[in-house]
Amino acid sequence: MTQSFDVDSFIRSRKQTRAVSDLLKAQAADYLATLSPLVRPQPLFGEYLQGAPRGSGRETQHHFKEFRTLFDKHAGARPFNLMNELEVPLNIINSTPELYPLEYEHTLDNGTRVRVTSPTRWVVGYSSFELSRFRQVVGDPNRSGSELHRFVVHYLMLFHCFSRAGGLGRLFKGLRFPVGFQCLDDFGDLPFCVISSPVSSTLPSDPVIRHSTEISGSRSFEELISDAEIEAMRDGLREQLSEALAAASAG
């Protein structure tokens, strides 16, 4: 998107973006809540998880071994630099998944750094482990090592459960809210689970962002959803059926 800064059209676009984003997030949250039993850690880890019933010995041992390898790979690396090891049984305080805003840094053409929020993508985390608080703890030189440890364990646990849930990715894709994994600013190579919506959002040109942040006095900005993006939405099932009809007719 490259356009000059027009206050009225910008305000209208912001309102439209917020309305569409709220609807999309509510839908994504509803799907996540419905499918959350598929990513509960208790059945996977059994007695390796505090308060969980005993599971299949070989299977739970396999999951714990994989998780310990995952923890060792990321916890001791930057920016966490954790030295403490995993304690068994694992203490997962809350395993209810929740959606948090996906944010990233954008550098304008004049060198100004802006914190950008996506209205169409969300990071999956556990309730009571807000992503914004995690970012604060990581950036605090006087941070609590135990609190940081809990955050790293919980986000790695969620990643493990999502990545091992066979068929879950296809389910979300079929619902038009695909699930993926990516690294985020401020968290090194730690993998996060991200849910995207069927509509994409984009940044306008740097001058538009600069004018907006100068007027608001804030170094934060939200991507915008255009009418064209909604009009260009594609229905994967409809396209597959159309291809099947065309192939059958040709045969």
Give mean pLDDT, residues 54-58: 76
Yes or no: say if 33 and 236 are a contact pair by the CB < 8 Å rule: no
Phi, psi of 195 (to 5 degrees): -105, 130
Answer yes or no: is pLDDT of 62 > 50: yes
Give the model's pLDDT for residue 4.
Answer: 56
* Residue 2: per-residue pLDDT: 45
pLDDT-derived band of residue 1, with 50, 70 and 90 as boundaries?
very low
Residue 136 confidence class, pLDDT cut points 50, 70, 90? very high
Place of tokens 């305000």: 11
Contact 225/199 with Cβ under 8 angstroms?
Answer: yes
**Cα(37)–Cα(95) distance, integer angstroms:** 10
pLDDT given at position 5: 64
Q: Among 49-63, 82-96, 220-234, which stretch is predicted with the lowest mean pLDDT? A: 49-63
Q: What is the pLDDT of residue 106?
A: 96
Which residues have a Cβ under 8 Å from the Cβ of 51 and sit 6 or more positions away?
89
| Element (DSSP H or E) covering residue 196 | strand 192-196
Neighbouring C-beta atoms of residue 58, cutoff 10 Å: 7
pLDDT of 163 > 70? The answer is yes
pLDDT for 251: 63
pLDDT at 194 over 70: yes
CA distance readout (Å), 17 to 25, 76, 199: 12, 39, 11
Which residues lie below 8 Å from residue 215, measured CB to CB, with a gap of 6+?
A: none
Confidence at residue 245, expressed as pLDDT on a 0 to 100 scale = 87
Among the ranges given (6-20, 87-101, 188-202, 236-250), the one the predictor scored with the smallest mean pLDDT: 236-250
- As a whole number, mean pLDDT of residues 89-113 equals 94
Out of 52-66, 178-192, 210-224, pick the least confident: 52-66
